[in-house]
Structure 1
Amino acid sequence: MTDIVVVGSLNVDVVVPLHELPAPGQTVLGAADHRRTGGGKGANQAVAAARLGRRVAMVGAVGIDADGDWLLGLIAAEGVATESVLRAPRPTGQAIVLVTADGDSTIAVSSGANMWLAPEHLAPLRDLLGSARAVLLQQEVDAAVVAEAVRLAEGLVVLNPAPARPVDPATLARVDVLVPNRGELAALAGAPPTDAGVDGLAAMARSLGTRGPVVVTLGGDGALVVTTDRQWLVPAEQVDAVDATGAGDTFCAALADALLDGAAIDEAARWASRAAAVTVTRPGAMAAAPRRAEVPTAA
């Protein structure tokens, strides 16, 4: 049985190191040579879960091009099953990642094959999705694909609603664990971008109608775990950040990993925070995901 099926995006990331992020209309010179790496939130989460020792299958699409060949080889080498990644008559997705020395990043994505993927492509994968212990999703594919994958899933459903966009209430009602950041939470709740404190974030989380907890990632401030009757803050691990690009993806994969082991949601969030903390100390997204032995045990 597959532990985790990831339904989501696969991209080629072109990472450009900068001294500072450009303002609108500004051109800045790179701080070092650019590098080409594997990416896409779906592929990042699949590789992160595989590195933690999970049996992982990827569902998505790449182009009929050299980039698609390269990406499939890259994630297959990490142990991710790629038989359910389709080849599309559109180019493989590309992401331009601008990252500063302190780990701050801005990302622009050309979706390509990721947005070609359609709900009908999931019909032959009904057994795969239904038998998986967990289905892990993001929002770099069409909303209808996310909704259909959630409908077909019979195990744990974990949704990382990134990038921010509305999610149908019927889909949210079938989500077991929702993992937004502050901005994504506000967008889902129909609220303006907010600096709300813990109580405000918890109120927004409870308004969404998920059938399980909401774990709000707060970057350097840690993560807020919200259930129907409790809320608690999981502090971030203190590390020297190099690149925060893949931290959220590692967090989601590690959260699902811990939940499959039977961890309580607060324990799972602590494990995910420790895994994400390792990621930010390394350059890249997919390449920075830690293996299980590299994640510190609880103090």
Structure 2
Amino acid sequence: MKKILVFGSSNTDMVIQAEHLPLPGETILGGKFTMHAGGKGANQAVAAARMGGNVTFIAKVGNDLFGQQARQQLINEGITTDYIITDPDHPSGVALITVDNKGENSIVVASGSNATLSPADVSGAIELINSDTIVLIQLEIPIPTVEYIIEQSNSRGAQVILNPAPANSLHKEIYNYLHLLTPNETELSLLTNTIVTDIPSAEQAAQILHKRGVKNIIVTMGASGAFWYSGTDSQLIPAPKVDAIDTTGAGDIFNGVLCVFLAEGYSLPEAIHYACQASAISVTRMGAQSSAPYREELLPGKTSE
């Protein structure tokens, strides 16, 4: 099985459940308040580890209680944390999340130490990368660092998967280095300056990214599943029907699980199928990392290969 290196953010999520998401200027009384380990990078690392992946997480946390707790929780998940750096000058990242009674959410992130992760900070972990590596990245860390990781990973023969969340612009040549790009419908719209509302519009937008050089585009489409486009193949892989209570982290679960099955040699449609299954399970639970399923929930009796 290939090793998985996840570069990205680590946050503490502060979650309030409410009847509806507040409108601008509106104050509402919410219900239960909880705190969960989060951050798109950390979420994806935990999802991959629970699915049996060989995971190393590279990030930056503050010299505070949130950072200490995040590091220990990742260690408890069996994730290698040797390349998590402590920032003495900035606090750990936090996210303020409101979840309504339909499971939809509204999120504001204070990046803190995540915003200071530099190419120099990740240079040691870059030395781990080779052709037997899958590299997973998101955009909650500085774009110059993301581009450096992608360029270095590509030059070393690794498969690079970019989850472009939150959506941001990249230098055009970077797209040529991506094995997989995994936007949701909103992110795909922003990246291509189009309106994506259904499969035909998703395919048209994916064609734009493919022409930029991306080998495979997987569009996560919530309850509908995920749409895969490779230039020669396209397919909608459906998601199981579930009653969602919290969609926070669903996309992160998808990406982490996807990496594990690709690392084990499954075909891309097979890996997408299991990623959809895992994401569907996660939305029936509260939290991001805490909602990530374990391997036996997808494949009872089967360990990682």
What TM-score range do you get, normalising by the shorter chain? over 0.9
1:40-97 CA-partner distances (Å, limit 9, x unpaired): 0000000000000111111110001111111101111101111101111200000001
Residues matched between the structures, number: 294
- Once the two structures are TM-superposed, the CA of residue 130 in structure 1 deviates from its matched residue by 3.5
Q: How does 1:277-292 map to 2 (within 5 A)?
A: 277-292=280-295
Does residue 110 of the first structure (1) align with residue 110 of the second (2)? Answer: yes
The aligned counterpart of 1:82 is 81
**In structure 2, distance between residues paired with 1:197 and 1:242:** 23
The aligned counterpart of 2:303 is none
**For the structure 1 residues 160 and 204, does the alpha-carbon distance in structure 2 shift closer, same or farther, using more than 3 Å as the test?**
same
Does residue 253 of the first structure (1) align with residue 256 of the second (2)? Answer: yes
The letter of the residue matching 1:91 is P
Q: Secondary structure at the match of 1:148?
A: helix
**For the structure 1 residues 177 and 269, does the alpha-carbon distance in structure 2 shift closer, same or farther, using more than 3 Å as the test?**
same
The letter of the residue matching 1:229 is T
- Once the two structures are TM-superposed, the CA of residue 183 in structure 1 deviates from its matched residue by 1.1
- Whether the 8 Å CA contact 2:250–2:279 is kept in 1: the answer is yes
The aligned counterpart of 1:54 is 53
- Once the two structures are TM-superposed, the CA of residue 199 in structure 1 deviates from its matched residue by 2.2
**For the structure 1 residues 76 and 210, does the alpha-carbon distance in structure 2 shift closer, same or farther, using more than 3 Å as the test?**
farther
The aligned counterpart of 2:17 is 17
The aligned counterpart of 2:246 is 243
Q: Secondary structure at the match of 1:36?
A: strand
Q: Secondary structure at the match of 1:16?
A: strand
1:197-225 CA-partner distances (Å, limit 9, x unpaired): 32221121121223421000011121111
The letter of the residue matching 1:156 is Q
**In structure 2, distance between residues paired with 1:125 and 1:171:** 20
Structure 2 residue ranges without an equivalent (≥5) = 301-305
TM-score by length of structure 2 reads 0.93
1:221-262 CA-partner distances (Å, limit 9, x unpaired): 211111102211111211111111011001001111111122
The aligned counterpart of 1:123 is 123
The aligned counterpart of 1:71 is 70
Mean alpha-carbon deviation: is it higher for 212-221 or for 263-272? 263-272
**In structure 2, distance between residues paired with 1:57 and 1:196:** 36
Structure 1 residue ranges without an equivalent (≥5) = none
Identity %: 36
**For the structure 1 residues 249 and 151, does the alpha-carbon distance in structure 2 shift closer, same or farther, using more than 3 Å as the test?**
same
**In structure 2, distance between residues paired with 1:202 and 1:274:** 22
Q: How does 1:30-49 map to 2 (within 5 A)?
A: 30-32=30-32, 34-49=33-48
The aligned counterpart of 1:201 is 202
Return structure 1 stretches of 4+ with deviation > 6 angstroms: none
Q: Cα RMSD over matched residues?
A: 1.5
The letter of the residue matching 1:201 is A
The aligned counterpart of 2:93 is 93
